[in-house]
């Protein structure tokens, strides 16, 4: 059974809600799924997932939320290579923030690429200004790519 590790960055719970739905969907598709909250690099590495799924909103001025930032920093500082592993990034933001739209997701995507992970797909951007229910966009995208 292939394994998926889910890591979530959220301030107001929107990304967490999407992650809950993603977890159920991916389990129904036959994956072994673990949601690490908050994500701790050693625990994620010990799970030895085939896929890393990062679901994150953006806060501040293009920042990774506090509940995902330690994991982001651990990956950046310890640089665990993801060679042979795949990743996907689902970014939630608001285009009214202009240049920093989904910037946390972009930082995560770039870092996973630097770690030699293989992107399953280009990053999904969900714009809170356009999409009332993020899961309506997220779940079809996950179904398509997993």
Ligand X SMILES: Cc1cc2nc3c(=O)[nH]c(=O)nc-3n(C[C@H](O)[C@H](O)[C@H](O)COP(=O)(O)O)c2cc1C
For ligand X, the binding residues (CB under 6 A) are 10-15, 57-62, 92-94, 97, 100-103, 128
Q: How far apart are CA 25 and CA 44, in angstroms?
A: 20
- In this structure, are residues 105 and 89 in contact, taking their beta carbons and an 8 Å threshold? yes
Name the residue whose CB lies closest to ligand X. Answer: 93
Q: Which is nearer to ligand X, 69 or 97 (CB)?
A: 97
**Nearest residue to 7 (alpha-carbon basis) of 43, 37, 50:** 37
Shortest distance, position 129 Cβ to ligand X, whole Å = 9
Shortest distance, position 86 Cβ to ligand X, whole Å = 23
Coil, helix or strand for 24? helix
Shortest distance, position 64 Cβ to ligand X, whole Å = 10
Sign of CA dihedral 47, 50, 51, 52: positive
Shortest distance, position 83 Cβ to ligand X, whole Å = 30
Task: Classify 59 in phi/psi space as left (phi over 0), alpha (psi -120 to 50) or beta.
Answer: beta
Q: Which is nearer to ligand X, 26 or 104 (CB)?
A: 104
Q: Which is nearer to ligand X, 15 or 115 (CB)?
A: 15
Q: Which is nearer to ligand X, 62 or 80 (CB)?
A: 62
Q: List, in sequence order, the alpha helices (H) in 29-132.
A: 41-47, 69-78, 103-114
């Amino acid at each position: 059974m292939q394994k998926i590790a889910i890591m979530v960055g959220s301030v107001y719970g929107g990304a967490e809600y999407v992650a809950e739905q993603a977890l159920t969907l991916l389990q129904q598709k036959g994956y072994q799924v673990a949601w690490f909250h908050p994500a701790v690099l050693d625990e994620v590495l010990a799970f030895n997932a085939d896929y890393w799924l990062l679901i994150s909103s953006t806060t501040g001025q293009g920042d990774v939320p506090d509940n995902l930032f330690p994991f982001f920093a651990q990956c950046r500082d310890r640089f665990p290579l993801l060679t042979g592993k795949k990743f996907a990034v689902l970014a939630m933001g608001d285009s009214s923030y202009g240049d920093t739209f989904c910037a946390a997701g972009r930082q995560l995507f770039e870092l996973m690429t630097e770690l030699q992970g293989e992107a399953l797909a280009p990053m999904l951007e969900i714009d809170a200004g356009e999409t009332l229910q993020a899961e309506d966009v997220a779940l079809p995208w996950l179904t398509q790519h997993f």
